[in-house]
Amino acid sequence: MNKPQQHPVVKHGRIGVLLVNLGTPDATDTRSVRRYLREFLSDRRVIELHPLLWAPVLYGPILMFRPRKSAEAYRKIWLKDVDESPLRYYTRRQAERLQERLPDVEVDWAMRYGTPAIRDRIDALIERGCDRLLVLPLYPQYSATTSASVADATFDALKKLRWQPTLRLAHPWHDHPAHIQALTHSIQRQLAELEREPEVLVLSFHGLPKKYFDLGDPYYCHCQKTVRLLRESLGWPEDRVRVTFQSRLGPTEWLQPYTAEVLAQLPKEGVTNIAVATPGFVTDCVETLEEIAIEGREIFEEAGGERYDVLPCLNDSDDSIEMLEALVTQELGGWR
Ligand SMILES: C=CC1=C(C)c2cc3[nH]c(cc4nc(cc5[nH]c(cc1n2)c(C)c5CCC(=O)O)C(CCC(=O)O)=C4C)c(C)c3C=C
Ligand SMILES: [Fe+2]
Ligand SMILES: [Fe+2]
């Protein structure tokens, strides 16, 4: 009688959930920051220039000067107790807390650039028996530069596998009720703790070269929709909420209005008491803790501003974990 052939035992039958954030340097020395920036800025989803044109700029002025400046910014915001960047700390905490809420699935986390790498964490989930995988990019608003880049890295990792897990990629959640509710609760709670209600709430999002928008990237529209739903949910009138875009890099036009210009302009319009929130970032990072909380304050106060309050991101708050649980539960529909 023919015996069936045997292959090594492969664990299977589990569901993996991978939270993916942008990435961050491993340390604050210039070399670590340069390594991280090189990987980040070599991604053609981020810089859509032909490598022959881009490489001389990247390996010339950018990697020569930027790492030192960025390293300084990272040193200002580094979490010394845990010796890691806030972005990595909060992303890990989100995964740990989500795992407590979802004991029937395997929750893990990864970074698009730097460590832990997406490929390594997918391998680890497969080791734990996951043959179904949900990847949730931690960007509420879709952009080719972020969400699609996570998808690329995921597909690249699966390319190498003989037995691929069945894959789901979470849908953008800029307008998801759970996201709007988490933002509303978080902002209301933080505003209630302020001595005085701000005259204007500035909502600052990470920017994007305007050309990408012209070519069809939906990011700008997703940001605007988050703002409209959030404003309606907070019950604030249109003239007390300003949408701005920060972190412009290079000489080309980016999405407008620029955060730094609005912060310098508001006191001239007589608005001297503001709060700033950053609903495009799920976790605090160098862009919120340095660019908004430190540089932004300087700009506003130098222009004559008096009160400048910065509202933290969702981070590992209960609001955040409830939101993630709702998103993941919806995306896993039919699998559990
Ligand atoms: C040069 C092009 C860049 C594009 C396009 C871009 C899009 C983009 N980025 C985020 C979110 C984050 N970006 C962060 C840092 C950061 N971003 C760029 C450049 C582009 N981003 C650089 C060079 C850096 C490094 C920091 C610096 O040197 O100033 C971060 C923070 C990372 C951290 O460790 O704290 C986040 C988060 C989004 C959402 C986005 C497009 C929609
Ligand atoms: Fe960025
Ligand atoms: Fe920045």
pLDDT in tens, 276-316: 999 999 999 999 999 999 999 999 999 999 999 999 999 99
pLDDT at position 5 is 84
C-beta of 272 in contact with ligand 1 (< 6 A):
no
pLDDT value at position 70? 97
Q: Which atom of ligand 1 is nearest to the CA of 70?
A: 28
The first and second tokens of residue 162, run together, are: 């003989």
Q: Is 72 annotated as a binding residue?
A: no
> Is residue 41 over pLDDT 80?
yes
Residue with token string 């030192």: 68
| Close Cβ partners of 250 (under 8 Å, ≥ 6 residues apart) | 209
Helices in the chain by DSSP H: which ranges? 30-41, 51-57, 63-77, 86-101, 118-127, 149-159, 177-192, 210-214, 219-234, 259-265, 286, 297-302, 318-331
Measured from the alpha carbon of residue 290, the closest ligand is: 3
Report CA-CA distances (Å) from 144 to 170, 186, 207, 220. 14, 28, 13, 12
Specify the pLDDT at position 6: 84
* C-beta 46 within 6 A of ligand 1: yes
Taking residues 109-113, what's their average pLDDT? 98
Query: Is 14-173+319-331 in CATH node 3.40.50.300?
Result: no
Q: Which segments of the chain belong to CATH 3.40.50.1400?
A: 14-173+319-331, 177-310
With a 6 Å cutoff on the Cβ, whether 22 touches ligand 1 is: yes
pTM of the model: 0.96
Token digits of residue 289: 């803790």
Expressed in angstroms and rounded, the spacing between residue 1 Cα and the centre of ligand 1 is 63
Query: Has 7 been labeled as part of a binding site?
Result: no
Ligand 1 centre distance from Cα of residue 287 (Å): 7
The stretch 259-280 carries a mean pLDDT of: 98
User: How does strand 166-169 pair with strand 14-23?
Assistant: unpaired
Q: Is residue 251 pLDDT above 80, yes or no? A: yes
Q: Is the CB of 206 inside a 6 Å radius of any atom of ligand 1?
A: yes
Q: Is 88 in the pocket of ligand 1 (CB under 6 A)?
A: no
The fold adopted by the segment(s) 177-310 is: Rossmann fold (3.40.50)
Question: Is residue 1 pLDDT above 70, yes or no?
Answer: no
DSSP string, 138-164: S-SS--IIIIIHHHHHHHHHHHT-SSP
Instruction: Enter the DSSP assignment of 12.
Output: -
204: part of which helix (H) or strand (E)?
strand 200-206
- Tell me the average pLDDT of the chain: 97
Please report, rounded to a whole number, the percentage of residues in the chain having pLDDT higher than 70.
100
Summarised one tens digit per residue, pLDDT across range 61-107 is: 999 999 999 999 999 999 999 999 999 999 999 999 999 999 999 99
**pLDDT exceeds 90 at position 114:** yes
Evaluate if residue 55 carries a pLDDT over 90. Answer: yes
Please state, in angstroms and rounded to a whole number, the distance separating the CA atoms of residues 113 and 24: 7
Summarize pLDDT for 166-195 with one digit per residue, the tens: 999 999 999 999 999 999 999 999 999 999
CB within 8 Å of 299: residues ≥ 6 apart: 260, 263, 264
pLDDT confidence bin for 259, thresholds 50/70/90: very high
pLDDT of residue 96: 98
